[in-house]
């Protein structure tokens, strides 16, 4: 059927009549809420309608903070349950959101209301999308992750003897991943202290100079 030009919907209907398309067997009905910069896709348009204007505002804020600009529109998909978020993204339940390209996948809004987590999570993921969109090819994961944390976190990261984590460290268990993120942020803090914020942020698009180490050495000076 595929060779005959039939679509996947026609093929499914032929072999599995009555099948509902979706990330679960519950057949959720998705609605798109267009915004100025961000398109929100949700199964609960009434409850999640406020997310679009919030995401539009935060998109402007992260552009101003980073000095970079988003290319094109961002698609924000809010999953109806933590289980569907896990099934669709492959992320563990303790991860509130994840980004892939220009698509941000978010846990249910109800699960993120406590402590202002919605705004904090959206700001982080929008900045992540922006950095990934503008990053020079081959830019290390630790630098990309560290820049996002540096620009969004209110936590103070120490820069003493901070060595970059390996790529695989970000994919380990919760505690190991958190340590990897903290080390990445500390490395960026170290670089900013030595070279200045403007210079370090310019490396997102230019790449890190080959003679620059994230670990401070005796006699290191700010340039």
Lowest mean pLDDT across 12-16, 19-23, 68-72, 148-152: 19-23
Round to whole Å and give the CA distance between 195 and 98.
Answer: 30
pLDDT of res. 172: 81
Separation between Cα atoms, residue 96 and residue 118, nearest integer Å? 9
Question: pLDDT digits over 102-117, tens only?
Answer: 999 999 998 887 667 8
Which CATH topology does 28-134 take?
Answer: Zincin-like (3.30.2010)
User: What percent of the chain lies above the pLDDT cut of 70?
Assistant: 88
Residue 80: both structure tokens together: 């109806």
Answer whether residue 223 shows pLDDT above 60.
no
Residue 27 has pLDDT above 70, yes or no: no
Q: Is the pLDDT of residue 24 over 60?
A: no
Q: Tell me the mean pLDDT in the region 19-37.
A: 75
- Buried (b) or exposed (e) across 127-165, using 16+ Cβ within 10 A? bbbbbbbbbeeebbbbbbbbbbbbbbeeeebebeebebb
Taking 50 as the threshold, does the pLDDT of residue 150 lie above it?
yes
Cα–Cα distance between 149 and 127 in angstroms, integer? 9
Determine the pLDDT at residue 87.
Answer: 87
Average pLDDT, the chain: 87
In the chain, which segments carry CATH 3.30.2010.30?
28-134
Contact 186, 159 (CB under 8 A): yes
pLDDT at 199: 95
Closest CA to 48 of 60, 58, 38, 40: 40
Query: Which tens digits make up the pLDDT trace of 77-95?
Result: 999 988 889 988 888 888 8
* Residue with tokens 């790529």, as numbered in its chain: 167
SS3 41: strand
Question: Contact 102/129 with Cβ under 8 angstroms?
Answer: yes
Region 184-199: what's the mean pLDDT? Answer: 92
What's the whole-number mean pLDDT along residues 137-154? 91
Instruction: Give the pair of three-digit tokens for residue 184.
Output: 């990445």
Average pLDDT over residues 51-73: 92
| pLDDT number for residue 143 | 95
pTM of the predicted model, to two decimals?
0.80
Task: Give the pLDDT mean for 8-26.
Answer: 76
Buried b (16+ CB within 10 A) or exposed e, 50-82: ebbebbbbbbeebbeebebebeeebbbbbbbbe
């Amino acid at each position: 059927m595929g060779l005959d030009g039939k679509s996947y919907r026609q093929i499914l209907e032929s072999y599995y009549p009555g099948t509902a398309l979706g990330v679960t067997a519950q057949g959720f009905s998705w609605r798109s809420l267009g915004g100025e910069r961000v398109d929100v896709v949700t199964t609960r348009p009434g409850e999640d309608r406020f997310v679009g204007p919030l995401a539009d505002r935060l998109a402007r804020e992260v552009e101003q903070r980073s000095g970079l600009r988003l290319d094109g529109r961002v698609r924000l998909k809010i999953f109806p349950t933590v289980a569907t978020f896990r099934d669709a993204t492959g992320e563990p339940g303790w991860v509130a959101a994840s980004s892939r390209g220009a698509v941000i996948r978010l846990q249910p809004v109800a699960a993120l209301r406590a402590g202002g987590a919605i705004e904090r999570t959206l700001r982080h993921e929008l900045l992540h999308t922006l950095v990934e969109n503008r990053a020079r090819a081959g830019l290390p994961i630790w630098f990309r992750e560290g820049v996002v944390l540096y620009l969004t976190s209110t936590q103070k990261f120490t820069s003493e003897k901070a060595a970059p984590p390996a790529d695989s460290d970000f994919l380990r268990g919760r505690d190991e991943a958190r340590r990897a993120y903290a080390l990445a942020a500390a490395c960026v803090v170290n670089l900013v202290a030595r070279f200045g914020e403007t210079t370090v942020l310019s490396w997102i698009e230019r790449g890190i100079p080959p003679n620059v180490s994230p670990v401070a050495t005796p006699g290191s000076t700010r340039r």
